[in-house]
Amino acid sequence: QRVNTAQSTWSVRDNMLICSGKPIGELRTTRMYQNFILEVEWRHMVPRGNAGIFVWADDITARGVPFHRSIEVQVLENAYGNGGGHTVHGDIFPIHGAKMIPVNGRGGGRAFPTENRSKPSPQWNHYRIECRDGTISLAVNGKVVTRGKECNPRKGYICIESEGGVVHYRNMRIKVLPETPIEREFVAIA
C-alpha cells in the first residue's frame, strides 16, 4: 500500500512495478515479515537514479522525515558514483533509529559490498535479500557481497522506496521462513 506518495508514483505495466521517483516516499507491504528471502530484479531507466528497499520497517515514516525507521538496501544506478560514504553496488545501512552492525564496515553503521557487481542503466540487476534472526545478507547478481548483523528491528514491513530515480521492478518474490520467538523491542511499530 502507498504510505506517502501520489497514486501516479507507482504503476504496473508489462508485469513490472514502475516507480516514477516523484514524490519521494514509500510503497509498503500490508503485513510484517521476520525471517524471509526477498528476490527481485530491478533496473534504473535514467543514469544516477536513486532508490532503495527497506526491510523490517515501521508502519509509517519516522517523525519529520519522508522515510521509515528500517534497514535500507541501496538501489543506486552506477553513474551515481562511489563517494566516501557510499558505493552504488549494494550498501546496507540502518536509517532513522534502526540499528545494525555491518559485517564489512568502515567504522560507521553502513555495510559495504566486497565486490562491485551491479550493471548500469538500463540493464537488469538481481537482488537476493535474506533476512534471518536479525542478520541480513545481499546477493547482487548471484553472489553475496554485503552483510549485517544484530539488526533492530528484526521484524517489520518491507518497503519499496521512491527517491528520485525512475526504476522498474519485476519477478519480486518473498519466501517466508519460520519465525523465531523474539522480544517486543525487536518488532517494528505496527
Cα angle 127-131-133, degrees, rounded to a multiple of 5? 165
pLDDT at 34: 98
pLDDT at 84: 73
pLDDT at 89: 79
pLDDT at 176: 98
Report the predicted TM-score, pTM, of the whole model to 2 decimal places.
0.96
* Residue whose C-alpha cell is 504510505: 3
Q: How confident is the prediction along the chain (190 residues), in pLDDT tens digits per residue?
A: 788 888 999 999 999 999 999 998 899 999 999 999 999 999 999 999 999 999 999 998 888 888 899 999 999 999 988 877 888 878 999 999 999 999 988 888 999 999 999 999 999 999 999 999 999 999 999 999 999 999 999 999 999 999 999 999 999 999 999 999 999 999 999 9
Nearest to 104 by CA among 136, 80, 69: 136
Question: What residue spans of the chain are helical by DSSP H?
Answer: none
Residue pLDDT, tens place only, 57-98 = 999 888 888 889 999 999 999 998 887 788 887 899 999 999
pLDDT at 46: 94
Secondary structure of residue 80 in the 3-state scheme: helix
Strands 70-76 and 92-95: antiparallel
